[in-house]
């Protein structure tokens, strides 16, 4: 393992030294600008507000930094965008610092400023107000019943991969000239005007760093640091106009663009995409010219730390769905290139290496694998997974590329796919995908269907058909609602700066919110396939085949949350096979419903001329989505969580090991869930031990690939988990541990041996 | 009529018993009675009831062991019937589910037990079908059976993990109920057939670890031209299973060998020219 430099150690410490705060600077500047632009078109107001921020926001270069650019002066501060919704912050001002998840400190002074200045200005004028005034009642009802959940109703649009490729190879100055050229021919096009305002402000923002670095250098006593600051200054001035020529310059421009985009949208997941691809030419040229590889690595580490500096402030409710403020600097490595060749390069390895030196939540690394992936790269991937942070996650080209072809994407673009946010699939630099516009709770639809008729169905098929009919009905509501949100963003919150980095927008003269992107999807997630499989199978078997109970009786028991029926509940949990164990009869129950949902969703068009596409992942939303669903036939009590991830089996129900889990998931038509899916698999660290462990793991990943699963990520079971398993054995029935020359079920071992294993596990980690 | 066997577990994703990702088929019933046996549920040829207090919710009784529920009635699975009669196709169906993993990891199927040789005809038919499907096959065995069965079975086996426990004839019969001469004889015949065979030695203090026994094992292995041996140090992890079966574990106070003890024997074997694997991966 590499020893991390003093520089990195200090910068890492700086990130976590103070408690997280909220900075209202962006909100103040944005609002200031808005007061001066009353009556102008929305896109110009947005552009001017963004420019006002970029021109005036306080900037800082921290001691030791090689990559400059920060969203806030204090590290890891949240920033607010009251224009999207002033309400939740207003309501939560006094609890932000103490809420259960993602706390942020806010000063009394700032609270007053928010209450007296920001809130009164934005009240009744925010995006949220616009959305609410337009949502029809049927959509509101579906939301209220918590069958659907619309997102981005109170925050900026993120979940996009800008075309870094273009700005790195052409430079900002070129892009500005391009816009000016367009303006000559289209003098009345407001998008071009807005694009120019924001691009020039970005340029100015970067120059401000150039000046700051120079000023700091003048006063710097340490000669080494002085040199570094002068270099930052030189680079900043250069890349504010010209294209970068070196790896260092390219990294710096990449980061400045990221920061500028953050000011515009304050949105989750403006993701880097295929960083190892577009950065490689710069890296390669530098190395050939004698750049010290250690310096290249140090630059990367500095950049990774920067990515942890940007945290997203969410409402208490939103933090439940996305706990731990994921900001989604999602980088995807390897895979195929546009010509179908293996795309792994030295930089792909270097990124995994330097990540291992940092081991923080960002960048959220992923690896694309396919039949051509080099063995060495697979091994490097596994070695990084073995570090135990759950990074990198793994994506499967063999299914994702065909899935995109099925969505009308060209072969070259499909091969170029990347990942945005968590697991959302996207064609980088070409897509405005609204990947997270809504969630659809399939399990809740089952519950509603059962209750509507009190369980009066004559056959299993009759029930399934009723569920499908209800899915159709609520999908329609979800589409309507999603399109309302989409339209509201277009009218109220266009993103001219972001649009400059999306293919076709500059060509067509349309903001991406108006359909300026090459690909225009809306992604909607169908949730609950595991609990559906388990529940429907019990209905099929216990009610209609074995006639152990009638459906109306069962519905009554569910309505009473299994009260006085614990024995029946235990039977449902323990005596019927469950999803995740590779049993066709069970697995197909849920996959049939999910496929139906997908087929229904893909019929609909959005307002930008693109189509809706389904996905199936929850991130951490399986907890709040579970809160919305009453007791279910799988033995789940009212309000209990759903299965995690999206496609994972229900907690503790997969008893036949990970191969059976992969097989169960493979019965889902993964080609249809082209917006993305998520599978969590837990491993004891011993599984990955030594060269033999790696060898078996390679095979495991290859099988994952051949089974055409889209995504997998690994939890390496910690001692903490094992201790919890001692306290709550009923929750860990499937936890297999390595004991000596054999493996055993953890809870069946006695305490002293369990302790022994716990201690050993800590050694391994 | 399809042959049937009594199977007590089919364990998928076994990664520590032979190469690659494997499925283990556990045959129920064993002619031996090793006091250190860590799978007591494998001994009887009949289905048995096990009771796991840790899963019991006390719905019908204050203790799982006093409960009169049948396994079918028990809602949590705390009371469970171990051992199920299965035909070859049923077992095959489970095995085939993981073919994709065998292929990508160099894995396959390992017959274990109990003693698969005791249900030899079934095992032979199963193995033959596996070989026809191109699946790698292995067996963990005591080697204690009529030669004819082992002979036929070995035609369909890629690897035999062959236990050698107590080499003294009287002690072997007295302690584990096995005729070591028959076992040695079978071993030699397999070697003569050029079957890939790996001896496995359980290291049980007071039973198999004395110098005399270890030397006898080394000499026997070397005399057969075998170069690799696996040693399996004694552990007590099976104790809880004795309890759940209502059986008594007579070695309760036996202390597992120290790592020095294991190292000493490993060295001895290595010095004699053997390649030694501890644990038997």
Chain B: nearest CA to A573, how far in angstroms?
8
Instruction: Collect all residues with Cβ–Cβ distance below 8 Å to B232 and sequence separation of at least 6.
Output: A741, B200, B201, B202, B203, B279, B280
The residues facing B86 across adjacent strands are B5
CA proximity to A613, closest of A529, A523, A527: A523
DSSP character for A392? S
Query: If residue B159 lies in a helix (H) or strand (E), which one and from where to where?
Result: strand B159-163
In Å, the largest CA–CA distance within chain A is: 85
CA proximity to A617, closest of A532, A529, A537, A536: A529
Q: Quick check: A743 and B280 CB within 8 A?
A: no
CA proximity to A435, closest of A415, A420, A447: A420
Residue with tokens 């809130």: A119
Cβ-contact A716, A388 below 8 angstroms: yes
Q: Treating both helix axes as pointing N-terminal to C-terminal, what angle do A247-265 and A293-309 enclose, rounded to 10 degrees?
A: 10
Query: If residue B215 lies in a helix (H) or strand (E), which one and from where to where?
Result: helix B211-223
CA proximity to B91, closest of B17, B9, B22, B153: B9
Cβ-contact A634, A578 below 8 angstroms: yes
The CA distance from A53 to A41, in Å, is 19
Residue with tokens 């959302």: A424
Helix (H, G, I), strand (E, B) or coil at A681: strand
Task: Give the CA distances from residue A502 to residues A151, A194, B169, in Å, rounded to whole numbers and listed in that order.
Answer: 22, 15, 82
Task: Give the CA distances from residue A192 to residues A180, A188, A260, A510, A724, in Å, rounded to whole numbers and listed in that order.
Answer: 8, 9, 18, 8, 58
Alpha helices in A359-459 (DSSP H): 375-385, 397-405, 411-415, 442-452
The CA distance from A508 to A609, in Å, is 14
> For residue A652, which residues of chain B lie inside 8 Å, CB to CB?
none
| pLDDT at residue number A733 | 61
| pLDDT at residue number A761 | 41
Q: Quick check: A700 and B55 CB within 8 A?
A: no
Check if A702 contacts B (Cβ < 8 Å): yes
> For residue B233, which residues of chain A lie inside 8 Å, CB to CB?
740-741
The CA distance from A158 to A266, in Å, is 8
Question: How many Cβ pairs closer than 8 A exist between chain A and B?
Answer: 100
Residue of B12, B76, B235 lying closest to A740 (CB–CB) = B235
Residue A424 annotated as catalytic? yes
DSSP string across A71-93: SSSSTT-EE--TTT-SHHHHHHT
| Burial of B18 per CB tally in 10 Å (0-12, 13-18, 19+) | buried
Cβ-contact B136, B157 below 8 angstroms: no
Instruction: Tell me the torsion sign for CA atoms B102, B105, B109, B114.
Output: negative
The CA distance from B116 to B94, in Å, is 17
Helix (H, G, I), strand (E, B) or coil at B171: helix
Residue of B13, B77, B104 lying closest to A702 (CB–CB) = B104
CA proximity to A597, closest of A503, A506, A475: A475
Residue A422 annotated as catalytic? yes
Cβ-contact A434, A486 below 8 angstroms: yes
The CA distance from A78 to A93, in Å, is 13
Q: Which token pair is A71?
A: 């969203």
Cβ-contact A331, A363 below 8 angstroms: yes
Check if A700 contacts B (Cβ < 8 Å): yes
Chain B: nearest CA to A614, how far in angstroms?
28
> For residue A692, which residues of chain B lie inside 8 Å, CB to CB?
281
Cβ-contact A239, A253 below 8 angstroms: yes
Chain B: nearest CA to A433, how far in angstroms?
35
C-alpha atoms less than 13 angstroms from C-alpha of A411 in its C-beta half-sphere:
3
CA proximity to A330, closest of A393, A373, A267: A393
Check if A574 contacts B (Cβ < 8 Å): yes
The CA distance from A670 to A622, in Å, is 20
What domains, with CATH codes, occur in chain B? 4-52+83-278 (3.20.20.70)
The CA distance from A625 to A211, in Å, is 50
| pLDDT at residue number A721 | 80
DSSP character for A145? T
Residue with tokens 């002619």: B31
Q: Which token pair is A93?
A: 């001002």
Catalytic residue among A83, A249, A424, A600: A424
The CA distance from A731 to B50, in Å, is 21
Closest A-chain CA to B98: A659
Check if A412 contacts B (Cβ < 8 Å): no
**Within its chain, how far is the Cα of A444 from the centroid?**
24
Residue of B52, B59, B103 lying closest to A567 (CB–CB) = B59
Closest B-chain CA to A729: B54
Chain B: nearest CA to A241, how far in angstroms?
52
| pLDDT at residue number A268 | 78
| pLDDT at residue number A315 | 83
| pLDDT at residue number A762 | 41
Q: CA A280, A352, A369 angle in degrees (round to 5)?
A: 80
The CA distance from B166 to B3, in Å, is 33
Chain B: nearest CA to A417, how far in angstroms?
26
Q: Quick check: B77 and A575 CB within 8 A?
A: yes
The CA distance from B253 to B93, in Å, is 43
pTM of the complete model: 0.92
**Within its chain, how far is the Cα of A268 from the centroid?**
8
- Flag whether the ipTM exceeds 0.90: yes
> For residue A571, which residues of chain B lie inside 8 Å, CB to CB?
75
Task: Answer whether residue B278 shows pLDDT above 60.
Answer: yes
Strand extents, DSSP E, A453-598:
519-520, 522-527
Cβ-contact B179, B170 below 8 angstroms: no
Closest A-chain CA to B230: A741
Which pLDDT band holds residue B237 (cuts at 50, 70, 90)?
confident
SS3 readout for A105-143? ECCHHHHHHHHHHHHHHHCCCCHHHHHHHHCCHHHHHHH
Q: Quick check: B76 and A574 CB within 8 A?
A: yes
Q: Which token pair is A185?
A: 């021919």
**Radius of gyration of chain A measured on its C-alpha atoms:** 26
Instruction: Give the Cβ contact number of residue B121 at 10 Å.
Output: 12
Q: Quick check: A658 and B16 CB within 8 A?
A: no
DSSP character for A270? B
Check if A738 contacts B (Cβ < 8 Å): yes
| Burial of A655 per CB tally in 10 Å (0-12, 13-18, 19+) | middle
The CA distance from A172 to A178, in Å, is 10
The CA distance from B116 to B27, in Å, is 6
Phi, psi of B79 (to 5 degrees): -95, 120
Q: Quick check: A703 and B52 CB within 8 A?
A: no
CA proximity to A309, closest of A330, A329, A323, A295: A329
Show the low-confidence residues of chain A (pLDDT under 50): 1-2, 738-744, 761-765
């Amino acid at each position: 393992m590499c020893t991390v430099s003093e520089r990195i150690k200090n910068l890492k410490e700086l990130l976590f030294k103070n408690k997280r705060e909220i900075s209202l600077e962006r909100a103040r500047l944005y609002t200031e600008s808005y007061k001066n632009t009353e009556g102008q078109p929305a896109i110009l107001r947005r552009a001017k507000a963004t420019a006002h921020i970029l021109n005036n926001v306080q900037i800082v270069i921290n001691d030791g930094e090689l990559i400059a650019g920060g969203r806030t002066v204090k590290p890891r501060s949240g920033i607010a965008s009251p224009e999207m919704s002033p309400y939740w912050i207003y309501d939560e001002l006094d609890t932000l610092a103490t809420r259960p998840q993602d706390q942020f400190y806010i000063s009394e002074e700032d609270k007053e400023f928010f209450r007296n200045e920001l809130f009164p200005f934005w009240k009744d004028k925010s995006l949220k107000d616009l959305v609410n005034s337009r949502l029809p009642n049927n959509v509101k009802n579906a939301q209220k019943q918590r069958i659907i959940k619309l997102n981005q109703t109170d925050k900026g649009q993120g979940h996009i991969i800008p075309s870094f490729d273009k700005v790195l190879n052409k430079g900002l100055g070129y892009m500005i000239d391009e816009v000016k050229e367009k303006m000559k021919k289209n003098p009345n096009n407001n998008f071009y005007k807005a694009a120019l305002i924001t691009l020039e402000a970005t340029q100015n923002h970067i120059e401000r760093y150039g000046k700051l670095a120079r000023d700091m250098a003048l006063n710097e006593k340490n000669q080494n640091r002085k040199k570094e600051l002068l270099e930052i200054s030189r680079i900043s001035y250069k890349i504010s106009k010209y294209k970068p020529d070196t790896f260092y310059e390219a990294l710096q421009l990449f980061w400045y663009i990221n920061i500028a985009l953050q000011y515009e949208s304050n949105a989750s997941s403006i993701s880097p995409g295929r960083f190892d691809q577009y950065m490689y030419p710069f890296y390669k040229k530098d190395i050939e010219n004698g750049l010290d590889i250690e310096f290249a690595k140090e630059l990367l580490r500095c950049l990774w730390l920067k990515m942890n500096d940007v945290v997203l402030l969410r409402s208490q409710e939103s933090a439940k769905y996305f706990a731990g403020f994921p900001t989604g600097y999602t980088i995807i490595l390897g895979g195929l290139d546009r010509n179908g060749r293996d795309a792994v390069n030295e930089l792909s390895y270097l990124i995994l290496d330097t990540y291992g030196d940092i081991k923080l939540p960002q960048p959220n690394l992923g690896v694309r694998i396919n039949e051509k992936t080099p063995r060495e790269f697979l091994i490097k991937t596994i070695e990084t997974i073995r570090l135990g942070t759950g990074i990198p996650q793994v994506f499967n080209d063999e299914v994702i590329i065909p899935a995109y072809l099925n969505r009308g994407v060209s072969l070259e673009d499909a091969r170029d796919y990347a990942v945005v946010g968590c697991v959302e699939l996207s064609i980088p630099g070409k897509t405005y995908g609204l990947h997270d516009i809504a969630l659809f709770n399939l399990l809740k639809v089952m519950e509603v269907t059962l209750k509507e008729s009190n369980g009066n169905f004559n056959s299993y098929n009759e029930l399934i058909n009723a569920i499908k009919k209800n899915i159709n009905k609520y999908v329609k509501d979800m589409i309507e609602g999603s399109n309302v949100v989409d339209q509201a963003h277009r009218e109220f919150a266009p993103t001219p700066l972001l649009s400059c980095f999306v293919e076709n927008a500059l060509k067509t003269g349309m903001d991406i919110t108006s359909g300026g992107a090459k690909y225009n999807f809306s992604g909607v997630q169908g949730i609950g396939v595991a609990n559906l499989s388990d529940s429907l199978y019990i209905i099929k078997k216990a009610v209609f085949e074995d006639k152990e109970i009638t459906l109306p009786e069962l519905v009554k028991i569910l309505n009473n949350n299994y009260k006085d029926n614990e024995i029946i509940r235990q039977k449902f949990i323990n005596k019927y096979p469950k999803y995740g164990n590779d049993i066709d009869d069970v697995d197909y129950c849920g996959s049939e419903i999910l496929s139906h949902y997908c087929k229904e969703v893909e019929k609909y068009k959005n307002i930008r001329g693109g189509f809706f596409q389904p996905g199936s992942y929850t991130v951490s939303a399986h907890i709040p989505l579970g809160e919305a669903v009453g007791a279910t036939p799988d033995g789940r009590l009212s309000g209990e969580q759903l299965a995690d991830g999206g496609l994972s089996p229900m907690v503790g129900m997969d008893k036949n090991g990970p191969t059976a889990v992969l097989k169960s998931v493979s019965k889902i038509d993964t080609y249809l869930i082209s917006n993305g899916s998520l599978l969590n698999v837990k491993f004891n660290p011993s599984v990955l031990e030594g060269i033999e462990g790696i060898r078996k793991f390679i095979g495991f990943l290859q099988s994952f690939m051949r089974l055409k699963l889209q995504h997998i990520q690994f939890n390496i079971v910690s001692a903490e988990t094992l201790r919890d398993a001692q306290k709550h054995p009923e929750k860990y029935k499937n936890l297999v541990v390595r004991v000596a020359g054999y493996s055993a079920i953890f809870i069946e071992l006695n305490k002293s041996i369990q302790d022994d294993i716990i201690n050993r596990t800590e050694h391994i980690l | 009529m399809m042959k049937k066997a009594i199977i007590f577990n089919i364990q998928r994703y076994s990664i520590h018993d032979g190469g690659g990702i494997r499925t283990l088929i556990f045959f129920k019933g064993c002619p031996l009675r090793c006091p250190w046996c860590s799978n007591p549920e494998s001994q009887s040829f009949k289905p048995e009831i096990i009771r796991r207090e840790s899963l019991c919710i006390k719905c019908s009784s204050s203790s799982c062991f006093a409960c009169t529920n049948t396994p079918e009635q028990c809602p949590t699975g705390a009371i469970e019937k171990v051992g199920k009669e299965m035909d070859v196709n049923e077992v095959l169906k489970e095995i085939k589910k993981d073919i994709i993993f065998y292929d990508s990891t160099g894995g396959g199927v390992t017959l274990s037990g109990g003693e698969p040789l005791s249900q030899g005809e079934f095992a032979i038919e199963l193995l033959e079908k596996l070989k026809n499907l191109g699946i790698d096959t292995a067996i963990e065995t005591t080697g204690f059976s009529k030669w004819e069965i082992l002979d036929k079975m070995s035609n369909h086996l890629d690897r035999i993990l062959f236990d050698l426990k107590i080499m003294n004839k009287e002690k072997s019969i007295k302690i584990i109920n096995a005729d070591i001469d028959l076992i040695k004889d079978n071993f030699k015949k397999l070697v003569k057939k050029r079957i890939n065979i790996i001896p496995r030695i359980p290291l049980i203090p007071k039973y198999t670890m004395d110098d005399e026994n270890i030397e006898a094992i080394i000499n026997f292995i070397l005399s057969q031209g075998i170069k690799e041996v696996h040693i399996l140090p004694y552990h007590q992890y099976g104790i809880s299973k004795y309890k759940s079966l209502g059986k008594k574990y007579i070695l309760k106070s036996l202390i597992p060998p120290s790592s020095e003890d294991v190292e000493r024997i490993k060295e001895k074997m290595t010095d004699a020219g053997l390649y030694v694997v501890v644990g038997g991966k």
